[in-house]
């Protein structure tokens, strides 16, 4: 299996060369372009077990699948159970989906990767043209990930961990900050903390820390509220709802102003445990991106003028001033001699005040479309 995946590394990278997009998350934000981040997290552990391949091969396979689906960036989670949770920390997720009731026990299952592993993943991402990032959960990982990432991601769980936020802010990179389970004063404190040390781009991600998030708890209106409250930052959404049939959650978030969407990613949504049951798979990602592209097509521009393809309608569907009766040459035109009919290639009805009182320069037959050269330049 290792040889097969190594072959995949070389062959499929070449197949993806034409798809490589070197834009980063932040560059896309600056251009107002929708950005989809696949939160792989630690889901590659279960994929490795299912496919009977190594953790690294599974992680690369998921990265490749994300790239092939058109996703712009992938994100992992970097932690060690000992520095993340005490052995007495209880679960806060749906235990019917993930039966483990201890945070420490769960995180211990998924903390095998270290600096060298993430460096290998980062290199692979660079080779196939997808942005790599990983959420650090301790100072050590924040340090070694620094050289691998263009942007830091701070978890909702660390929103009030101001010493840790300050530590990453001092590194001078753009930051994505999730705001799940927070109040406004806490968000302001975190933003103020970042701004003490860092004036780079900041993306605030609306988030609900409920796994999975029921649709009626998604509270997407918070996206608009964040835009109003923090007008000088970018706004995004970290989604924990189960993918709905038409991906209305993501589409609505985007229409409300979320330019960055982060969603958990899996290759098998039927897998039990952790973050598979509310994740998107490659098909979902493709459908989301196609849906956003369709919305972009529908949005067009905000310029208030007609478009070139409407020219025929402007000329033919609009009305002109038309003679309601035969009008002999020399007769002064009155309003009761006139009516309004299609097409709109003659004098517009909006110019009626300028027409009434002028004289016919020629004999104008009933139902003729009036043009200015049919009239005297002044009334007689």
Structure confidence by residue, pLDDT tens digits, 246-294 = 999 999 999 999 999 999 999 999 998 779 999 999 999 999 999 999 9
* 18, pLDDT greater than 80: no
Residue 5's pLDDT band (boundaries 50, 70, 90)?
Answer: very low
335-338 long-range Cβ contacts below 8 angstroms, 24+ apart: 338/370
Strands 320-323 and 338-341: antiparallel
Instruction: Please choose, from the candidates 269, 265, 273, the residue with its C-alpha nearest in 3D space to the C-alpha of residue 59.
Output: 265
Lowest-pLDDT choice from 23-27, 121-125, 367-371: 23-27
pLDDT tens readout for residues 160-212: 999 999 999 999 999 999 999 999 999 999 999 999 999 999 999 999 999 89
Residue 14's pLDDT band (boundaries 50, 70, 90)?
Answer: very low
Q: What is the average pLDDT score of the chain?
A: 92
- Mean pLDDT (whole number) for 336-349: 97
* 331, pLDDT greater than 70: yes
Backbone angles phi, psi at 302, to 5 degrees: -95, 10
Q: Whole-angstrom Cα distance, residue 44 to residue 22?
A: 25
* 380, pLDDT greater than 90: no
The Cβ of residue 71 has, within 10 Å, a number of other Cβ atoms equal to: 25
Residue 15's pLDDT band (boundaries 50, 70, 90)?
Answer: very low
The larger pLDDT score, comparing residue 266 to residue 22, is at: 266
Task: Give whole-number Cα distances, 199 to 152, 173, 187, 240, in Å.
Answer: 14, 9, 16, 29
**pLDDT at residue number 344:** 96
The larger pLDDT score, comparing residue 2 to residue 203, is at: 203
Lowest-pLDDT choice from 13-22, 148-157, 159-168, 294-303: 13-22
Lowest-pLDDT choice from 107-111, 162-166, 211-215, 321-325: 107-111
Residue 86's pLDDT band (boundaries 50, 70, 90)?
Answer: confident
* 12, pLDDT greater than 80: no
* Residue 130 in tokens: 């997808």
Strands 320-323 and 152-154: unpaired
The larger pLDDT score, comparing residue 261 to residue 92, is at: 261
- The share of the chain scoring above pLDDT 90, in percent, equals 82
* 2, pLDDT greater than 60: no
Task: Give 3-state DSSP helix, strand, coil % of the chain, rounded to 5.
Answer: 45, 15, 40
The residue length of the chain stands at: 380
* 85, pLDDT greater than 90: no
* 13, pLDDT greater than 80: no
Residue 378's pLDDT band (boundaries 50, 70, 90)?
Answer: low
- The share of the chain scoring above pLDDT 70, in percent, equals 93
* Residue 137 in tokens: 């959960």
CA angle 333, 337, 342 (to 5 degrees): 110
* 19, pLDDT greater than 60: no
Contact 360, 374 (CB under 8 A): yes
**pLDDT at residue number 173:** 96
Buried b (16+ CB within 10 A) or exposed e, 143-169: eebeebbebbbbbbbbbbebebbebbb
Lowest-pLDDT choice from 219-223, 297-301, 328-332: 297-301
Residue 90's pLDDT band (boundaries 50, 70, 90)?
Answer: confident
- Mean pLDDT (whole number) for 321-336: 97
SS3 215: helix
The larger pLDDT score, comparing residue 367 to residue 22, is at: 367
Q: Whole-angstrom Cα distance, residue 368 to residue 29?
A: 56
């Amino acid at each position: 299996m290792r040889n097969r995946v190594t072959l995949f590394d070389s062959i499929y990278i070449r197949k993806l060369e034409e798809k490589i997009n070197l834009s980063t998350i932040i560059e896309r934000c600056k251009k107002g372009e929708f950005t989809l981040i696949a939160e792989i997290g630690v889901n590659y552990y279960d994929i490795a077990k299912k496919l009977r391949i190594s953790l690294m091969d599974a992680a690369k396979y998921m990265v490749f699948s994300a790239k092939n689906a058109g996703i712009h960036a992938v994100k992992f989670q970097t932690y060690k159970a000992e520095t993340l949770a005490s052995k007495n920390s209880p679960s806060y997720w749906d235990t019917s989906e993930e039966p483990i009731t201890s945070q420490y026990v769960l995180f211990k299952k998924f903390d095998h990767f270290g600096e060298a592993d993430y460096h290998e993943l980062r290199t692979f991402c660079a080779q196939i043209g997808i942005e790599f990032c990983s959420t650090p959960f301790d100072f050590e990982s924040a340090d070694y990930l620094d050289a691998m990432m263009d942007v830091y991601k701070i978890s909702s769980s660390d929103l009030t961990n101001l010493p840790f936020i300050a530590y990453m802010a001092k590194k001078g990179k753009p930051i994505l900050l999730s705001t799940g389970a927070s109040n406004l004063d806490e968000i302001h404190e975190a933003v103020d903390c970042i701004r003490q040390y860092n004036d780079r781009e900041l993306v605030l991600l609306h988030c609900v820390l409920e796994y999975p998030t029921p649709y009626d708890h998604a509270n997407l209106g918070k996206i608009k509220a964040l835009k109003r409250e923090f007008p000088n930052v970018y706004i995004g959404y970290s989604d924990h709802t189960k993918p709905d049939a038409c991906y209305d959650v993501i589409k609505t978030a985007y229409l409300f102003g979320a330019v960055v969407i982060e969603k958990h990613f899996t290759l098998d949504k039927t897998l039990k445990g952790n973050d598979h049951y509310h994740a998107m798979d490659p098909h979902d990602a493709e459908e989301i991106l196609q849906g956003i592209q369709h919305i972009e097509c529908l949005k067009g521009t905000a310029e208030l003028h007609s478009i070139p393809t409407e020219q025929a309608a402007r000329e033919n569907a609009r009305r002109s001033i038309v003679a309601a009766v035969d009008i002999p040459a020399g007769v002064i035109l009155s309003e009761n001699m006139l009516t309004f009919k299609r097409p709109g290639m003659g004098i517009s009805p909006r110019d009626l005040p300028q027409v009434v009182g002028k004289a016919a320069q020629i004999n104008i037959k009933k139902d003729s479309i009036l043009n200015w050269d049919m009239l005297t330049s002044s009334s007689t």
